[in-house]
Chains A and B, each alone.
Chain A
């Protein structure tokens, strides 16, 4: 098994990461009719799984080559630099969030929501909360994904080293860490209470699995991935998941789910990447690989180009998406919350994401010709330079 060759860029990765970015943006706008299109309403897993898997895949793809060509130290240093960039991006988003919440805290008063106003309490003690935010312990709503990435990247250099030498052992270690995490309930504490919403000790399994696939693991199990039996099992599992999700929304239907199954199945744990979510993601991935071949001509068509473009600049577009979802909610509160407004804001947000991705591409192009440019591939992605 050899590493993928340079220039061997799999556009499917960019496409699905771009789509995942759009879905995360839509999911983060509360009370938005458009987020009924997102996959979390039809099964156990959601866009987060797609995103973490593809990020692990591309991180291994990019830094795996760097580690072979430039050595362990240089590649490790580059990964940590990337982690630092994601950290800076997270703090930037936190500043925007704090600005918005401070504005709302001053402009909104209603005795009915006396209790909900409690979320503004943290503004009363900035000495504590700002420090806790910088330590990644205080994380406001919808700002949990970037800290997960920072943690995953920070732990990635030794793991990549092992993946390149003993791929199976690295994956085994990752699965073992996942199992131990579930058993001993390890997690990182959060402020003011609880622990991280996305437990990095659990979610690392999906990231490492993505990396493992990129470094030859996928080829190793390609017979299993492409087997019709696997496809049949995946379809049955997706149908099962869809039915279970229906029982959460249609009263009376839950009577059809046997008690023993409920007891084993619930709760479907997002914090610790519950196995049902993992298997649901695998089922989607297996079918996607079958239905969308790598050399599918449509991947180069103009229709998919916007999503691919977003997927190629995922750190910037992700941050922008979080900001835009705040902004969209803000516009709904201040102007109108009608369905037309929801659809318009959703579309506008995606257009802004695409336009920004195009602008970043353009900048990369002009800066790539500048004398100060560093050698290396253009196109930043969430966890590494693109290829």
Chain B
């Protein structure tokens, strides 16, 4: 019986809920404007071809009831296509559970050569906190990653950890969040503050992030909103930056 109920709920959520979500979560997220420009994205948009690579850990993946991918990169791609008519938008996801920032940093050359992205969206932090990586090592990995990407004419947007109220007292993410914010500020890279956005959602009641559930209802809506917000950040970042020709700073 319980399984049937869950199955029915899943089926309903997949279609109806996401469409009805509207802009409530966008409003409750507060100001999510990029602090720095994304010149290579601007250049790519001008050329009508925008390739993006998402590098991340398990929170960049989410499979719906039917096995379809409903994680934020999917929503990001969909939203960018509607925001940028005439531009061929492609989002490739390189998500791997438990991968730390330095492991991701090491695979950047492969990602760059495979997809030649104008932008890398780099979601990291949680796996490092779980595995107890030295925050200093984490910071160095981010720093080196920015070097690699800039050298290859790729913009970067950092995505920090999820706000997870249930595990907050057990998982010390603050040192990693601060390291990310620090690198972003110092290297003039865009930081998408997923942690703060999700905390605002929880506080304003848009999403109940405390609840225990086996269904992907809430998860799907959260990823949908994150993807749309991220698309806004990408477009706003491109507008913030003048198109630069290759080789100039």
Complex interface bits, B211-234 against A, C-beta within 8 A gives 1, otherwise 0: 111111011001000000000000
B70 to chain A, nearest CB (A): 10
On whether A110 and B59 interact (CB within 8 A), knowing A31-B199, A119-B167, A194-B133, the answer reads no
Nearest-CB residue, chain A, relative to B64: A111
Q: Are A194 and B132 in contact (CB under 8 A)?
A: yes
Q: Are B139 and A267 in contact (CB under 8 A)?
A: yes
B126 interface hit (Cβ, 8 Å): yes
Complex interface bits, B174-218 against A, C-beta within 8 A gives 1, otherwise 0: 010001011001100000000000010010000001111111101
Q: Are B218 and A333 in contact (CB under 8 A)?
A: no
On whether A108 and B166 interact (CB within 8 A), knowing A116-B126, A194-B137, A254-B185, the answer reads yes
Chain A residues lying within 8 Å of B12, measured Cβ to Cβ, are none
B208 to chain A, nearest CB (A): 10
Chain B residues lying within 8 Å of A114, measured Cβ to Cβ, are 58-59, 62, 97
Q: Are B170 and A108 in contact (CB under 8 A)?
A: no
Q: Are B165 and A101 in contact (CB under 8 A)?
A: no
How far, in whole Å, are A143 and B78 apart by their CA atoms in the complex? 44
Nearest-CB residue, chain B, relative to A139: B132
A375 interface hit (Cβ, 8 Å): no
Q: Are A192 and B131 in contact (CB under 8 A)?
A: yes
Chain A residues lying within 8 Å of B186, measured Cβ to Cβ, are 262, 266
Nearest-CB residue, chain B, relative to A270: B175
A115 interface hit (Cβ, 8 Å): yes
Nearest-CB residue, chain A, relative to B97: A115
A125 interface hit (Cβ, 8 Å): no
Chain A residues lying within 8 Å of B162, measured Cβ to Cβ, are 112-113, 115-116
Q: Which of A285-331 contact B (CB under 8 A)?
A: 325-326, 329-330
How far, in whole Å, are A381 and B83 apart by their CA atoms in the complex? 63
Q: Are B98 and A333 in contact (CB under 8 A)?
A: no
Nearest-CB residue, chain A, relative to B168: A30
Q: Are A111 and B182 in contact (CB under 8 A)?
A: no
Chain A residues lying within 8 Å of B57, measured Cβ to Cβ, are 115
Q: Are A140 and B170 in contact (CB under 8 A)?
A: yes
Residue in contact with A195 in the complex, picked from B97, B98, B134, B165, CB distance below 8 Å: B134
On whether A109 and B170 interact (CB within 8 A), knowing A194-B134, A194-B137, the answer reads no
B14 to chain A, nearest CB (A): 13
On whether A118 and B216 interact (CB within 8 A), knowing A141-B169, A141-B171, the answer reads no
A89 interface hit (Cβ, 8 Å): no
A220 interface hit (Cβ, 8 Å): no
Q: Are B167 and A104 in contact (CB under 8 A)?
A: yes
What's the A-B contact tally at a CB cutoff of 8 Å? 121
Q: Are B212 and A107 in contact (CB under 8 A)?
A: yes
How far, in whole Å, are A113 and B97 apart by their CA atoms in the complex? 12
How far, in whole Å, are A329 and B214 apart by their CA atoms in the complex? 23
A227 interface hit (Cβ, 8 Å): no
Q: Are A31 and B165 in contact (CB under 8 A)?
A: yes
Q: Are A333 and B59 in contact (CB under 8 A)?
A: no
Chain A residues lying within 8 Å of B182, measured Cβ to Cβ, are 266-267
B149 interface hit (Cβ, 8 Å): no
Q: Are A110 and B211 in contact (CB under 8 A)?
A: yes
A41 interface hit (Cβ, 8 Å): no
Residue in contact with A112 in the complex, picked from B127, B132, B199, B218, CB distance below 8 Å: B218
How far, in whole Å, are A118 and B216 apart by their CA atoms in the complex? 18
A195 to chain B, nearest CB (A): 6
B69 interface hit (Cβ, 8 Å): no
How far, in whole Å, are A110 and B182 apart by their CA atoms in the complex? 31
Nearest-CB residue, chain A, relative to B35: A251
B5 to chain A, nearest CB (A): 16
Nearest-CB residue, chain B, relative to A191: B132
Nearest-CB residue, chain A, relative to B218: A112
Chain A residues lying within 8 Å of B216, measured Cβ to Cβ, are 111-112
Q: Are A142 and B166 in contact (CB under 8 A)?
A: no
A337 interface hit (Cβ, 8 Å): yes
Complex interface bits, A247-281 against B, C-beta within 8 A gives 1, otherwise 0: 01001001000000010001101110000000000
Residue in contact with A325 in the complex, picked from B135, B169, B181, B202, CB distance below 8 Å: B169
A2 interface hit (Cβ, 8 Å): no
Q: Are A113 and B35 in contact (CB under 8 A)?
A: no
Residue in contact with A193 in the complex, picked from B62, B131, B172, B210, CB distance below 8 Å: B131
A175 interface hit (Cβ, 8 Å): no
How far, in whole Å, are A110 and B210 apart by their CA atoms in the complex? 9
Nearest-CB residue, chain A, relative to B213: A110
Q: Are A111 and B219 in contact (CB under 8 A)?
A: yes
On whether A101 and B97 interact (CB within 8 A), knowing A109-B214, A110-B211, A112-B218, the answer reads no
Q: Are B212 and A110 in contact (CB under 8 A)?
A: yes
Q: Are B137 and A113 in contact (CB under 8 A)?
A: no
A-B contact pairs, 17 of them (CB 8 A): A30-B168, A31-B199, A110-B218, A111-B219, A115-B97, A115-B126, A115-B130, A141-B169, A141-B172, A142-B169, A193-B134, A194-B132, A248-B181, A254-B185, A267-B179, A325-B169, A337-B202
Given A111-B214, A116-B171, A192-B131, 8 further pairs, Cβ under 8 A: A30-B169, A111-B62, A112-B62, A142-B172, A194-B137, A262-B186, A267-B182, A337-B202
In the complex, the 4 A-B pairs of residues with the closest C-beta atoms, listed nearest first = A115-B58, A112-B219, A30-B168, A329-B169
